[in-house]
A and B are shown apart, each in its own frame.
Chain A
């Protein structure tokens, strides 16, 4: 235990040290950079080579869209300007908005240049995925339920007006997700809930908004199991005696994953009724019925009193221990 605490402390300390080093390096650069301060990012735009036909370069865009350009200059997308080998169609404003020559000729006509606002989801996503498709998070963009429901990249990300520095989101989580998924907000405000509102867990820890092969865009764990086992490692198994629905139907067969009025986010307020729904003898059920001595009106109303290892056991088929 002490070793792990030490590891956590060391990791945290390492982060602080790295941060300190970075700040020191920034200070060290101060002198050398003074000279180049005047050569700030604005002048770097000169690196852009508007050599392709129809492209005018970001400096031209800046003459009218200076506010937007100033924000862009501080954003991660500005790094496209730094590639000395990139062509104009892959750099700066026109890297996303396309050639601007016609637009500069007739600025009032917005159809002369690609505008993301009002464009179809397919077109918006296509533009963004030109560069971002290779990202591990976007690997399954073809399976995106957001895309299928007309939710494009710019529904959540705002390259020019982002409110978060990381991922350029229009809002931070979970408010961003709640803005469409209205029904999830009450669940996370139930007495028993995953600590999403508290900031411990983020929606994207369990869901990949860019798409997965699983329903509801749920991620899988590294071991190709349910994402729940990423944190609930003691429930993962494999166990000699698996509680079958955990593996075949998933955790949601008994739990409401976001939040619930019931303890342990169970689907029912009483444990025994939850169990009995499956554990009633029936030719249609893979679950055995309860034995005759399980008097539900006495001590056996809480099944997990005797069957506490309900997620799986290595040494007891009935999950006693």
Chain B
């Protein structure tokens, strides 16, 4: 269905609806409501409900990802407002209750506010968000069509269908008194199925169930010490937990004998192995037993996190010319994962590992100390000195005591296939089942690439940052027409990043087809691989033939100590110019320089230019224009990072009379980023060939890694009221995006880089009788990629395009 068809549909609907209500609309006089006075309250209510139908063509997953509005009966809006006539209600003076989206829409929101003058103020919000997400180009392995059979990935390996429920409740007791109490509670819950990926023996798609919960309790006290000076204390107690599980349920192939197997999702000719399918005529297809694959996979982890925070704040404008704010906060967190467990069986053809287990407790803490102060001293009525200082220190120490194990198969029968998923796992290594010289069929069968049989390892990580920022400004009002400020911003930031991995113990058991006395029957491998024909220190041959490594110190890449200090200096300039009463121009500029960049894209040089003009020549006419430029650079040797975001915006609202309103606007956004990138790439035509100029780079190629996005956005909205009882509005919003980027994989569709996304709409409301209205709305969503989604050589993954029309028929009653 295209726009034209949708418009026709709308026209038909309106034609059908309008005569039906015409007589009624003439009969009624007023849709506005003053509510009902009941007792000491004025009560106003409105309810809007009806039916929405949708018609979607094209990619349903993308429609649901972007829009996700379906068909059915809905409560579009319900509001209740109660106001005490004399502001002296028994339980409350004001009550506001609003709801929308119930009945099946992805977003449902309820807001409630109840307040009684000097006694209390309660606010509650309940929000539910059904977040469906399945944009198949994210994390798509882009399988080539040359694989037989071609295996396109039609759904994103990271798709999800989450439901978020967010509840916030806040109660202020004695809101106007010198001593005020604040209580709060929040409950957030995210749950639902996801697709996830794991690189175990193959990159497999997992079925994950995510359940994250956060309970937050707040307690605050405010006390006005002296006039215009208030001191506050807040205590926050946050508890969060995750109950994540993941399983492999995507067994799309079988081994001989009908054993289900998952070969992962990338199929590119060499992965998971060359020509894995031995019999495509079976259902499902039968594959090689010596190909990498998964026979089972499960993961479970239940992190528990407690995060208490205390904050003390002070605000004062006690002195006539001086006002200040300050606060200091201390927050800690303790995230514990006591029962992590990952189990998999299958085969990694390179290492001959048939099973892996991974576990061990993890514990991470965080301590954050923040403090800030800001003050304004008004030297004269026109001249102000302003300063703000912020201190932020956080550190995150963490440790994971890993326990890892790898299982191997028994030996195949003479001439049999090795490695193979059809071979049974060997029994745990022992002299009974695998005596010297370790050639028994029951011995675990290793290769020289096999990992350890068992390992205990301690991984420690420390990440911390200490930052101090000060912004000093002088502001002067030259006249009623002109104000300016100039300032200096300084930041000092120290980042510490330490990592150490220490092997407590590793066990390498002997056994394998290439084992011999010289290689200790393959027990001398991994960290205990022979160096010059002898075992490394701390690797000891045991009487049973195993080699045990104890206390291997962290060496090489297992130890990192990075300490980075960055100084940033910036000039800040602001300007407000009112050449006439109807025109205001604001300028806000920043020019900064840092002496080091923590990352290649962290800017050393920053320039920001923001200009906004508002022109209101008539009370019914306003015109706005804005220019927003951000220029970031880290263009040092072998980084060459340049980035900018340049936005130009225009908007106007014209309301020449209450019966007619225009709202129009246009926005142009130019986003660019580039940096020298080095990478490995091969096997495709048209790839960059420039060598990487960076000494010591493990990858050979380089190019300018650029991304350009040029975004046009237009919108218009027209509201007309041709008759007192009829209100109509129609409008259009369209995003037109184009761009270019470095393409490292020619199979990559560039849909996200170039598309049109258009959303026209129309609405007519007919007032029927004293607060009763009929409302019909039409919305159209059209997403059309401008770049081809059918790429030569890519297994067809379908078009991302969709178009959807929504028609809503609703009744609104306000009383």
A residues engaging B (CB < 8 A)? 1, 4-5, 7-8, 11-12, 15, 18-19, 21-23, 25-33, 36-37, 39-41, 44, 74, 76, 78-79, 81-83, 118, 120, 122, 129-130, 133-134, 136, 139-143, 148-150, 165-166, 178-180, 182-183, 185-186, 189-192, 195, 198-200, 213, 222-225, 230-231, 233-234, 236-242, 244-245, 247-249, 253, 261-264, 267-273, 276-278, 280-287, 289-299, 301-302, 304-306, 308, 314-315, 317, 320-321
Contacts and interface: CB of A to CB of B under 8 A. Distances in A.
Nearest to A314: B362
B212 A276 contact: no
Given A140-B374, A183-B649, A189-B733, A315 B665 contact: no
Interface in B328-354: 329, 331, 333, 335, 337, 340, 342
B730 to A, nearest CB: 17
Contact of A198 (B85, B107, B242): B107
B601 A278 contact: yes
Interface stretch (B214-222, B251-259, B273-281, B437-445): B214-222
Nearest to A21: B91
A297 B688 CA distance: 11
Contacts of B459: 240-241, 317
Given A134-B230, A191-B783, A269 B368 contact: no
Contact of B141 (A240, A247, A305): A305
B56 interface: no
Interface string B672-689: 010111111111100100
A8 B167 contact: yes
A141 B325 contact: yes
B74 interface: no
A222 B372 contact: no
Given A190-B735, A222-B309, A285-B599, A308 B680 contact: no
A274 B400 CA distance: 29
A29 B709 CA distance: 62
A27 B38 CA distance: 6
B363 A315 contact: no
Interface stretch (B4-12, B39-47, B418-426, B427-435): B39-47
Given A245-B599, A289-B698, A315-B340, A186 B735 contact: yes
B624 A182 contact: yes
Contact of A249 (B400, B602, B753): B602
A286 B497 contact: yes
Contacts of A28: 39
B43 A23 contact: yes
B707 A269 contact: yes
A224 B647 contact: no
B315 A133 contact: yes
Contacts, number: 511
B592 to A, nearest CB: 12
Contacts of B473: 148
B188 A231 contact: yes
B741 A240 contact: no
A291 B128 contact: no
B245 to A, nearest CB: 12
Contacts of A182: 612, 624-626, 649-651, 665, 667
A191 B741 CA distance: 19
Which 4 residue pairs are nearest across A and B when measured between Cβ atoms? A240-B398, A186-B713, A182-B649, A30-B39
B659 interface: no
A183 B647 contact: yes
A41 B653 CA distance: 37
Nearest to B389: A213
A198 B610 CA distance: 28
Given A142-B324, A290-B698, A23 B82 contact: yes
A36 to B, nearest CB: 7
A142 B376 contact: yes
Contacts of A281: 678, 694, 696-699
A231 B649 contact: no
A314 B114 contact: no
Contact of A189 (B461, B682, B735): B735
Given A22-B91, A22-B95, A247-B463, 16 more contacts: A30-B39, A37-B37, A81-B87, A139-B327, A143-B374, A182-B650, A223-B333, A236-B240, A280-B694, A281-B699, A284-B597, A285-B597, A294-B680, A297-B745, A317-B461, A317-B499
A295 B682 contact: yes
Contact of A240 (B399, B562, B744): B399
Contacts of B158: 304, 308
Contact of A286 (B80, B100, B127, B599): B599
Interface string B46-64: 0000000000000000100
A102 B398 CA distance: 69
A199 B85 CA distance: 30
| Size band of the interface chain B makes with A | 35 or more
B236 interface: yes
B581 A118 contact: yes
B87 A185 contact: no
A233 to B, nearest CB: 4
B126 A139 contact: no
B680 A149 contact: no
Interface stretch (B14-22, B192-200, B405-413, B721-729): B192-200
A41 B86 CA distance: 5
22 contacts: A4-B191, A26-B82, A29-B41, A33-B40, A78-B87, A129-B317, A139-B327, A143-B388, A178-B651, A195-B129, A222-B216, A225-B368, A231-B164, A241-B459, A273-B677, A273-B707, A278-B599, A281-B678, A298-B271, A304-B139, A315-B301, A315-B342
Contact of B562 (A166, A249, A286): A286
B325 A247 contact: no
Contacts of B625: 182
B196 A269 contact: no
Contacts of A302: 138-142
A292 B402 CA distance: 27
A242 B499 CA distance: 11
Contacts of B100: 199
Contact of B366 (A237, A273, A290): A237
Contacts of A264: 138
Contacts of B446: none
Contacts of B230: 133-134
Given A150-B576, A224-B368, A286-B562, A296 B745 contact: yes
Interface in B124-152: 124, 126-129, 135, 137-142
B465 interface: yes
Given A222-B238, A277-B705, A314 B301 contact: yes
Given A12-B110, A238-B335, A244-B497, A269 B753 contact: yes
B662 interface: no
B59 to A, nearest CB: 12
A196 to B, nearest CB: 11
Interface stretch (B287-295, B519-527, B636-644, B803-811): B636-644
Interface in B690-714: 694, 696-700, 705, 707, 709, 711, 713
Interface stretch (B477-485, B507-515, B532-540, B543-551): B477-485
Contacts of B684: 297-298
B600 A308 contact: no
Contacts of A118: 581
Contact of A33 (B39, B91, B92, B188): B39
A301 B748 contact: yes
A299 B271 contact: yes
A37 B85 contact: yes
A77 B636 CA distance: 58
B599 A27 contact: no
A5 B189 CA distance: 9
Contacts of B676: 280
Contacts of A32: 39-40
Contacts of A4: 165, 187, 189, 191, 213
A192 B697 CA distance: 35
Nearest to B392: A224
Contacts of B210: 234
